[in-house]
Amino acid sequence: MIGSMKFSRRFVVALGGAAAIGLATGGVATAQDVIKIGAPLPLTGPLSPEGVKQQQGYDLWAEAANAKGGIKVGGKTYKVQLVYADYASNTPRAVQTAERLITEDKVNFLFSPFGSGAAKAASTVSEKYAIPTVAATASSEQVYDQGYKYLFGTFTPNQTLTEPLADLVTAKDKNVKRVAILARNDLFPLAIGQEMEKSAKSRNLEVVMFEKYAIGTMDHASAITQMRAAKPDWIFATGYINDLILIRKQMKDLGVKAPVVTMIAGPAYQEFIDASGPLAENISSAAWWHPAVRYKGEDVFGTTEAFNKAWADKYKSEPDYAQASAAAAGAVLQLAIEKAGTLDGAKVRDALAAMDAVTFYGRIKFGPTGQVTSLAPPVFQIQGGKPMVIMPAEIKQAEFKFGVN
């Protein structure tokens, strides 16, 4: 169903066959039979590719949970009802949307908006109303250092990506000495650029350029020309899918090359590879999950292989880390609710804080700030048009290659 909001579109997705129709219309199930989870997402605007990915992950989890009867709470079983709201890639609207989901739609729990910036901004709302909230795409420590109790995140801190990348590159080629960083001036991209700067300097690499670009930048020629003059051995660019596609194409147009080019987080997405074509080859990156990992979990999916198959059956594609993290956010919330045996927010919050469980996504144990601390993000490189894992060794698929044209 579609409702009106001043800034966003709201709609309910209730999964699980005939009963789902009743949930959406009010004809079969009663309010006591459902758990409502709010999900503010950027389904339009420049961040819409990322918003759609999260929606796909949430949908798959809800469908899997409802197919098995729903979420067990004490002696009763509840169906999952997702309430989506489009905040049009605008962070202030994301905050307003989160509040409306709580106060008007009366959701029991929340999934955070996309990215670190919007997740941090909206976390004030969930804390205000004591609503347990899981952030599927927020890695920056600044999101979690506010002393809040109701926010939990399925991404490890940013340095867990830059440190293994720096270890790998410096071990493979001692001639890599000069690093250029180009970062979107937004919470997550800028924060991970700053972590890369720390990782480089701690290994005595020279950071010859650190430039920021504004959100919505449509021409990077000036920064890329500056990059060419700096003659880096390693180019590290941060941003979202559309940013990094444009940067990569303009690097080619302006003749900028380097032995190592790393981009976070675009290369993890098939959309980046499809849009960049041959220019994606040998671009390196890191992410919080890869379909090559193998876990046997206690969540609704059970194993990584089962999750991958469910994804392929539904979407006819291979899942990326953002999609998997969204599904994991649902799976983790389900485990916490079932462990608590109640829908009481404080008790579900306590179950999340105490969690130490293996899922299809990996081991989930949250640190004292609510950010997961138990995962080892894979490093990968685009080779032959596919993201190939370089490390960790137990899931390694290829050797690292130098040289990007």
Please state, as a whole number, how many other Cβ atoms lie within 10 Å of the Cβ of residue 332.
Answer: 25
Please state, as a whole number, how many other Cβ atoms lie within 10 Å of the Cβ of residue 184.
Answer: 23
Could you give the CA distance from residue 123 to residue 150 in angstroms, rounded to a whole number?
8
Helix spans in 26-147 (H): 48-67, 91-103, 115-128, 141-144
- The pLDDT tens digits along the chain (405 residues) read 233 334 456 666 544 333 333 333 233 344 458 999 999 999 999 999 999 999 999 999 999 999 999 999 988 999 999 999 999 999 999 999 999 999 999 999 999 999 999 999 999 999 999 999 999 999 999 999 999 999 999 999 999 999 999 999 999 999 999 999 999 999 999 999 999 999 999 999 999 999 999 999 999 999 999 999 999 999 999 999 999 999 999 999 999 999 999 999 889 889 999 999 999 999 999 999 999 899 999 999 999 999 999 999 999 999 999 999 999 999 999 999 999 999 999 999 999 999 999 999 999 999 999 999 999 899 999 999 999 999 999 899 999 999 988
Domain 2-156+292-365 listed as CATH 3.30.930.10: no
In sequence order, which residues have a C-beta less than 8 Å from that of residue 134 and are 6 or more positions away?
A: 109, 110, 111, 112, 152, 153, 154, 329, 330, 332, 333, 352
- Contact between residue 238 and residue 192 where contact means Cβ atoms under 8 Å apart: yes
For CATH 3.40.50.2300, the residue range(s) in the chain are 2-156+292-365, 159-287+378-395
Taking the model in full, what pTM does it have?
0.85
Dihedral sign of CA atoms 138, 143, 147, 151 in order: negative
Q: Which two tokens stand for residue 363?
A: 């081991």
Q: Which fold has domain 159-287+378-395?
A: Rossmann fold (3.40.50)
